[in-house]
Amino acid sequence: MPSSVNKTIQTELLAITAIAANNQQISSVLDVSTVLAATIFIDHAPDSATAPTKGTEYRIEASEKSSGNDTWRPIVSLVTGIVAANLKTVSGTLSAGAVAVTHTAAGTYVQDDIVFFKNSTIGNSEWGRLVSIGSTTTETLADGLTNAQTSSQIINKCEQFVVPVDCTAIKRIRVVVNNKYQAGTTIAIVARIAAITADSIG
């Protein structure tokens, strides 16, 4: 039995990326040939107030080979919802660390909504969770913002997934963001994908 487990935070497989409607984005490939297990973290946000007829598919794929593209096979498929999102613009600047959210027009956010703050600098965007609703233009976040948000959009109907993957008999893994799922009408989205791996030592 190993005496300890080494956990490695990988570089994000897909940094925060805007993906147009009816397009596909493939993450970077993670070599897991010496890895026992990995956990995949997926953050999803709609980028439109239009309800899609099909959700976005996040397809985790594995390969038994160390190279080549003809051996990718799906091991997990996750499909997001099709309810229209609410998009509003935050009032002025919300400082880093702030939990109070205000926006310029009345919204229909609800408690426990996962929301996305879309910054004009996409890398400074972030996800959060609403824990209370004060009025039609004010909400409270569970945790303080990581980045200041100036005139950013606040978007609800976001989703987050955490998927454990047994890597003991896998060479590589990747995630396909299929935003043209089943040829349905999709909308623009924003996605981020990361992974933590575990290797036994000792």
Same structural domain, 38 and 91: no
The domain in which residue 128 lies consists of 87-155
Same structural domain, 163 and 79: yes
Token reading at 56: 């976005």
Same structural domain, 77 and 25: yes
CB atoms within 10 A of CB 124: 18
Same structural domain, 36 and 105: no
Over the stretch 4-52, which tens digit does the pLDDT of each residue have? 677 776 779 999 999 999 999 999 999 999 899 999 999 999 999 999 9
Same structural domain, 20 and 71: yes
User: pTM above 0.85?
Assistant: yes
* Calpha distance 167→26 (Å, rounded): 20
Contact 164, 170 (CB under 8 A): no
Contact 131, 79 (CB under 8 A): no
* Residue of 145, 99, 147, 143 lying closest to 121 (CA atoms): 147
Residue 78: CATH number of its domain: 2.60.120.680
* Calpha distance 184→174 (Å, rounded): 23
Report the domain count for the chain. Answer: 2
Q: For 100, phi and psi rounded to 5 degrees?
A: -85, 130
Residues of the chain with pLDDT under 70: 1-4, 9, 200-202
Same structural domain, 104 and 79: no
Same structural domain, 146 and 100: yes
